[in-house]
Amino acid sequence: MRSPALRHVLTHLITPLLMCIGMGLAYLGAFVTPEPHHLPIAVVGTAPEVKVFAQTVKDTAGDKLDVRTVATRADAVDLLMSRIVTGAYVPSAKAPELLVAGAASDMGATAVEKVFTPVAEKQGAPLKVTDVATPVADDPTGQGLFFLLIALSIGSYASVAALGAAGAALAMRVRALLALGVSAVVSGIGVVLAGPVFHLAHHDLAGVWGMAWLYSAGILFTGVGLHTFLKRWTTLTMMVLFVMLNFTSSGGLFRPELQNGFFGTLHAFWNGAGFVEGVRSLLYFGSDGLARNAWTLLIWLLAGLLLTAIAALYERTRQARRATAQHSETDARSASAVVRPGRDPERAADEEAEEEAEEEVEEEVEETVGV
């Protein structure tokens, strides 16, 4: 290609085109056809006919449902509050009841209701649906936490792009301190949105802030560390990690039981799922499972800190090599200048270094197109 300008533009179009492909594959793959996959449900009762009924439901549904029986309605409620099952059916000839936990997953509750409504209709009795964990009135579908996750994610990974482009000349310890400060600000914004502004969280705002900070700091330190090695490809990598794979596996819209195995598997350890499920535990389920989700976020943060430390060591080593090389080059130019006087060799080296740095910064600024 003869035109350097055209080649430059085409090279930088690679990033948005890859984002288009990745977002399409991730979002359509995760959300377009939600179907039950081993959706856990319970049938209440110990009588032989109840067990026969449960087995019949299982045989009819195949791999779509995992059916168990429990002795009492209270046992079923405990399983729902622990999010071990998505719904529980209480058979009755006159008043069958379906127990769900809407705060755990509105889509999951709807899926279970679709399973048992026809069963009740065949019995000629209306199905009573009881929600044992109702979301707050300000967030009737319980999906507000997913959109809070999006806000925190954008604030975090977009800040990585800014730190990389504008802060590339800063020492790693300075960038790390900036990441620490930005994570505190991003999580603070998240708490204000979740509490006073949209009333998604009516209590435990301090706990919500803690989970948001762990989440945001994990993204920021991971990005700061990656930027040393990936440069302008950092934004694309961050979008793959914390948008394409993260939003789709978080459980904010569909629980893993309504997704394919790939996203369901990611849900078990990805940081977005740790945040959404952790805040759900805090707000609606008496902190059941909170420790596990907090550990998920902490492990991501520790991985980010480790990556940042490796990047700092790499940068120090690279700078030492450059200093040695520049010193040797300056000595050689000084010797040459004795024979052929001309421009000051040290000044020439400094000007070349400045030009190289300006070109690098320009490349770094271009990476923010992904934000």
Q: Tell me what pLDDT residue 135 has.
A: 93
Give the per-residue pLDDT at 163. 87
Rounded to whole angstroms, the Cα distance separating 216 from 156 reads 6
pLDDT, position 196: 95
Q: What is the pLDDT of residue 146?
A: 96
pLDDT at residue number 278: 96
pLDDT score recorded for residue 344? 57
pLDDT of amino acid 371: 47
Predicted structure pTM score? 0.86
Can you give the pLDDT at residue 194? 96
Q: Which residues pair with 66 in a beta bridge?
A: 40
At 340 the pLDDT is 54
List the alpha helices (DSSP H) in the chain: 4-31, 48-61, 73-81, 106-122, 144-166, 172-192, 205-230, 234-239, 246-249, 261-266, 271-284, 290-339, 345-366
CA-CA-CA-CA torsion for 354, 357, 359, 362, nearest 10 degrees?
-120
pLDDT of residue 131: 94
pLDDT of 260 reads 86
CB 284 within 8 A of CB 103: yes
Strand partners, 44: 70
Strands 39-44 and 87-90: parallel
**pLDDT at residue 334, as a whole number:** 63
**What does the pLDDT read at residue 338?**
54
Positions in the chain whose pLDDT score sits under 50: 366, 369-371
